[in-house]
Amino acid sequence: MKATITVLSGDGIGPEVTGAAVSLLEVIAARHGHQFTFHEAPFGGAAIDGHGDPFPKETIRRCESADAVLLGAVGGPKWTDPKAAVRPEQGLLRLRKHFELFANLRPVKAYPALAAFAPLRADLLEGVDILFVRELTGGIYFGARQEQGDGATAWDTMEYSVHEVERVAHVAFRAAQKRNHRLTSVDKANVLATSRLWQRTVERMAGDYPDVKLDHMLVDAFAMQVLRTPARYDVVVTENMFGDILTDESAVLAGSLGMLPSASLGKGTFGVYEPIHGSAPDIAGQGIANPTGTILSAAMLLRFSLNLDEEAQNLERAVDMAIAEGARTRDVASTGALALSTSEFTAAVKAHL
Ligand code: NAD
Ligand code: IPM
Ligand code: MN
């Protein structure tokens, strides 16, 4: 098949990890007789520097004409001036909103081979396989906000409509039907009005999915339980900001933030695929970033936007095998052990394709 993929590498380690994923997608294309065309476009801090805008018109057009977008990360110390009118992260939020990508799938798996490295007891990690479904285009990220001129007060607003909750919850229920038939909806209904609407809506929908066992948890308790008994969870659905925080937390289960991929989807097959981590300014430019999250995001791209499930599985299996045989970037290597560079790790994955 022919497919067009727009690559927004962004800032910091962004170009290092997207470079790794693109090189593997090229191998997949060659092996399976596909024709993938990649177009790079400026995004984030790099685009602010070059175009004064983190999501320039040209980049929007490049994304609109693509089948999918592969994204690295945005942001960095160069663009964190709190008084700046434009920030790299705004580009990311505009991208998600522009394409109404309301469902952000963030799978979290524990790797047996990395269990010794994760800071949790190995027995707790057995069988950990959670799919977070994070609402991505609503809530406090997109509500009105203001920083008062005097600097003495500021406010943000969080708003959800029944429609916004329904469409993301449908994605979560359907995912649970294809997995282990359990769905946990996480909210803060003991305090927030939006959470009460969230809970009521999800609860009402449960009748349409009699084969899914639904429960509700408060976010503070969930944040503790997900590390205490992580294997208990199957699909977890939650609002935008809770999902942001809980998935970084859950990266501990996978051994490193660098391991986790994501797919941001809307109504059609178009999607944006990115690791959940940021631009990691502390290690940028050193060639030591873990590209696993981005490589697994590329696998999700193959599966969800291009409908190439076999190719996606091949890529995922190659990552599993490389890790199982001991390939380790520095973030998941024990102290003193020899760690691979980003490109060495990518070559180890390639060897299994
Ligand atoms: P971060 O995720 O960039 O880094 C947190 C820690 O994890 C750092 O120690 C980093 O070295 C490590 N890390 C992250 N990814 C790694 C990888 N692939 N391999 C090895 N180690 C990795 O979070 P931060 O430092 O809080 O944020 C830095 C910048 O990134 C900020 O400007 C933030 O807004 C931005 N950010 C962007 C995205 C995105 O583009 N989707 C996501 C999160 C943060
Ligand atoms: C993520 C990031 C973004 C978010 C930031 C950079 C806006 O943390 O993709 O998880 O909060 O959604
Ligand atoms: Mn985040």
Specify the residue with its C-alpha closest to ligand 2, atom 1.
276
The domain total for the chain is 2
Classify strands 235-238 and 145-147 as parallel, antiparallel or unpaired: unpaired
Ligand 1 pocket residue status of 101, Cβ below 6 Å? no
Tokens of 294: 């981005």
Cα 89 to averaged position of ligand 1 atoms, centre (Å)? 12
CB-hemisphere CA count at 13 Å for 114? 27
Is 112 part of any domain?
no
Is 135 part of any domain?
yes
Ligand 2 pocket residue status of 92, Cβ below 6 Å? yes
Mean pLDDT for the chain?
97
Q: Give the number of other CB atoms < 10 A from CB of residue 57.
A: 9
102 lies in the same domain as 143: no
89 lies in the same domain as 2: yes
Cα(134)–Cα(82) distance, integer angstroms: 27
79 lies in the same domain as 135: no
CATH number for position 49: 3.40.718.10
Closest Cα to residue 262, out of 94, 105, 69, 99? 105
Q: Last residue of some domain: 253, 288, 309?
A: 253
Closest Cα to residue 234, out of 276, 296, 173? 173
Identify residues whose C-beta is under 5 A from ligand 3, the ion: 244
pLDDT of residue 16: 98
Q: Last residue of some domain: 222, 253, 284?
A: 253
Q: Give the number of other CB atoms < 10 A from CB of residue 190.
A: 10
Cα 277 to averaged position of ligand 1 atoms, centre (Å)? 5
Mutate which of 74, 92, 247, 257 for ligand 2? The one with the most ligand atoms within 8 Å of its CB, which is: 92
281 lies in the same domain as 203: no
Tokens of 130: 């959670």
14 lies in the same domain as 87: yes
pTM: 0.98
Q: Which domain holds residue 337?
A: 1-106+259-353
In the chain, which residues have pLDDT < 50? none
Cα(199)–Cα(7) distance, integer angstroms: 37
pLDDT of residue 83: 82
Alpha carbon separation from 316 to 1, 46, 311, 343 (Å, rounded):
20, 30, 9, 17
Is 101 part of any domain?
yes
Is 204 part of any domain?
yes
269 lies in the same domain as 218: no
Is 114 part of any domain?
no
Is 113 part of any domain?
no
Sheet of 103-109, strand order: 35-40, 2-10, 68-73, 271-273, 263-265, 103-109, 129-135, 235-238, 182-187, 213-218
230 lies in the same domain as 297: no
244 lies in the same domain as 138: yes
> Does 187 participate in catalysis according to the annotation?
no
Is the Cβ–Cβ distance between 239 and 139 less than 8 Å? yes
Cα(117)–Cα(335) distance, integer angstroms: 10
* Long-range contacts, stretch 155-162, CB < 8 angstroms, 24+ apart: 158/192, 158/194, 158/239, 158/241, 159/194, 160/135, 160/194, 160/197, 160/198, 160/239, 162/197, 162/201
Q: Token match 């524990």: residue?
A: 110
Is 111 part of any domain?
no
pLDDT tens-digit series, residues 62-76: 999 999 999 999 999
Is 25 part of any domain?
yes
pLDDT of residue 147: 87
Strand extents, DSSP E, the chain: 2-10, 35-40, 68-73, 103-109, 129-135, 145-147, 154-156, 182-187, 213-218, 235-238, 263-265, 271-273
Q: Last residue of some domain: 204, 236, 253?
A: 253
Is the Cβ–Cβ distance between 42 and 51 less than 8 Å? yes
Ligand 1 pocket residue status of 89, Cβ below 6 Å? yes
Cα(62)–Cα(59) distance, integer angstroms: 5
246 lies in the same domain as 300: no
242 lies in the same domain as 272: no
Is the Cβ–Cβ distance between 94 and 297 less than 8 Å? no
149 lies in the same domain as 79: no
Q: Is 272 helix (H, G, I), strand (E, B) or coil?
A: strand
166 lies in the same domain as 248: yes
Cα(151)–Cα(309) distance, integer angstroms: 52
Cα(62)–Cα(64) distance, integer angstroms: 6
